[in-house]
Amino acid sequence: MNHHIIRYEVDAQGIATLTLDYPGKTMNVIDQAFMNELSACIERMKSDASVRGGIITSGKDSFVAGADLLSMESNIDAMAEMSVAELLTSCASLSQLLRQLESFGKPMVAAINGMALGGGYEICLACHHRIAADAPGVLVGLPEVQVGLLAGAGGTQRLPRMIGIQASMPFLLEGKQLQAVKAKEAGLVDEVVAPDQLMAAARQWLLAHDTAVQPWDVKGFRIPGGGPLDPRVAPGFVVGNTLLQAKTFHNLPAPLAIQSCLYEGCQLPIDKGLRVESKYLAMLSRDPVARGMIRTLFVNKAKAEKGMHRPAGIETFKCRKLGLIGAGMMGAGIALVAAQRGIEVVLIDRDQAAADKGKAYSEKALTKLVDKGRQSREKADAILARITPSTDYELLRDADMVVEAVFEDRAVKADVTRRLDAVLAPDCVLASNTSALPISLLAQASSRPERFIGLHFFSPADKMPLVEVIRGKQTSDVALARALDFVAQLKKTPIVVNDKRGFFTSRFIGAFVDDAIGMVAEGIAPALIENCAKHAGMPVGPLAITDELSIDLSKHAGEAQAREFAAEYKPGRSVPVINKLFEQGRLGRKAGKGFYDYDDSGKRLWSGLAQHYPLKESQPLAHDLKQRILYVQAVEGARAMEEGVLLAPADGDIGSILGVGFPAYTGGPFCFIDGVGLPRFVAEADRLADLFGEQLRPPQLLRDMAANGQTFYGKTARA
């Protein structure tokens, strides 16, 4: 029998080794072909009297990473159309297979030599013993909740039966993951051994044990720490549910479904508990939340990181030496992450003191990692040695990539561009870090606009995962390919957009903040605005965001836009309110007063706002405000699509969540619109526009799509 995905070998002692090694893939993934071969291996071991037990391990650096990307993309749409019976069968298929693995009558050991997440770790749970290699790449956990699902191949039933209900909650409800030693301390694995001793330890355990029965299959089994109704555990469900809703505001169905699996399933025998789990998985699979999160945070994010917009036929670029102009917080953050990826960095500013201060940012960040034991001093010193602070542009003559991150002013950027043109090699790509200034205009200062591109990093650049890549009108395919390769080298997620003022992310978040501050002028209570934003899933209220960025920055940015683009600039609804606060000297958090008052005890909304903007006697419904907050952003996203700013809906969905904090449970604006349904979305947007203003009126694109039965994704996706 020739297994292409699983190599099957039996040694002289009767130990079968199942080596998972999916051909053509860098990681082992679970799809139907994988499941078919695992099923065949189980049958082979069961029917072979000479086999006493088996080891499951991996022929790759990782163990099993979970579900297959390509099959998951097709499955999320297919599941929406399945009958309930078909859906339940599909959701229970891996669970039933792993039940066969643990109950076919012979002991199984998981020899975990790399990352075992999701379904990969659920395979380990179905084995009778788990041994992990003590290596940095070994990581175990059940992260399904992070994409709106639950661990549906036995994870919600086996893990609590193994380590206890309460102990299992952080892994199931938060997706917590652990390296080998910590995993053993938590009870997720049974042994940790040196990597070169892994297979020997697995064989040794099998030779010493003939037990092929899981503890939960033994008569009289009790869950460690008590079952769901035990007085030590039951209060945790009451308090846990309250805390859960306080954190998620009822927007995420998966954590509640996981709690239900724990509460209901752990009162039942394992087979019935697994059935409960499969039913809740089926329910989540049908929900637009899971479909949107899977599509954006798993499928489309992976596609973006693999270069879905990279021009074909261009040699892969690797940056050796990076020039970075501007050593402020943004430039310093980019310099740090580049140096961490092995790139030599020349960090330039107006004077040596400013450049040195930029390098000091890296020194401080790396010292924190060393103090926490997350990095050695030697490695930190090596990273720091790659950053050369200077004022001398001559050091950039052999740079193969330059990022300009100076003040957001067209004249300042133009001066830097001309100075760079005088020293850079002909093939060096020059990227401007800007959040709103059109790249095609900035490129006019360059003698080689085809090598000019926009790279919009997000602050702090060493932590935020997104980079918005902006292609100017004259940007060449080579420049785009090199920029995307550079972003990949930094291990960040790119989106690619066409050039227009505000690009995508700035205009998207701007629509939210502008409309929310406009609500203040309408007489809507500031506390209602802030709380509805949080309940809608925004990480921070819009007034708090504005205070953090500073009132004067908002004012000056608006004035700069008015100067630069006088013909097309339209002042936002927030401008009068921003001007009023500026006149009052309320410049935001840095000044101790803005929309909020700040002191040592914390912050409180400024009561004086009501004197300038009296509260309406009748306040809008919280439901309508939450809808307004989500819809004003989704409508702006649709406008960006209609205007050709976005290359694909995936860019808007990824950018909105990873860049500017649009609620992850929506999957992004385009998944959100699809989840609501185009006709319903258009009708609701029109209702909100009638209530609150034309900024919520849906563009013609959405009306046409609704009329034609189109969606942004799936079988009916617009071309």
Q: What are the residue numbers of the active site?
A: 456
Read off the amino acid at residue 451.
R
- Distance CA(487)–CA(169), nearest Å, equals 36
What's at 677, amino acid-wise?
A: G
DSSP state of 295: I
From the list 300, 305, 299, 360, the residue with the least C-alpha distance to 329 is 360
Other residues' Cβ atoms within 10 Å of the Cβ of residue 7: 16
Q: Return d(Cα 703, Cα 667) in angstroms, integer.
A: 21
CA 333 to chain centre: 20
Query: What is the rounded CA–CA span in Å between residue 581 and residue 558?
Result: 14
Residues 119/64, Cβ–Cβ less than 8 Å: yes
Side-chain half-sphere CA neighbours of 21 within 13 A: 9
CA 59 to chain centre: 28
Measured CA to CA in angstroms, residue 195 lies from 15, 57, 132, 191, 496 at distances of 20, 12, 8, 12, 41
Buried b / exposed e over 375-403, threshold 16 CB at 10 Å, is beeeebeebbebbbbbeebeebeebbbbb
Secondary structure of 234-281 in HEC code, one letter for each residue: HHHHHHHHHHHHHHHCCCCHHHHHHHHHHHHHCCCCHHHHHHHHHHHH
Alpha-carbon span 206 to 130, nearest angstrom: 11
The string of DSSP codes covering 569-628 is ----TTHHHHHHHHHTT--BGGGTBSSEEEETTEEEE-TTHHHHSPPPSSPPPHHHHHHH
Give the integer Cα–Cα distance in Å for 4 and 21.
Answer: 8
Measured CA to CA, the distance from residue 419 to residue 401 in angstroms comes to: 15
φ/ψ (deg, to 5) at 117:
-120, 150
Q: How far apart are CA 309 and CA 556, in angstroms?
A: 34
CA atoms within 13 A on the CB side of 398: 4
Distance CA 678, CA 368 (A): 48
463-466 CB contacts, 8 Å cutoff, 24+ apart: 463/333, 464/658, 464/659, 465/492, 465/493, 465/658, 466/492, 466/493, 466/494, 466/495, 466/505, 466/654, 466/655, 466/658, 466/659
Instruction: State how far the Cα of 191 lies from the Cα of 131, in Å rounded to an integer.
Output: 5
* Six token digits for residue 85: 């019976």
In whole angstroms, give the CA distance from residue 634 to residue 640.
10
Cis-peptide into 224, omega within 30 deg? no
List, in order, residues 6 or more apart from 194 with CB less than 8 Å away.
133, 134
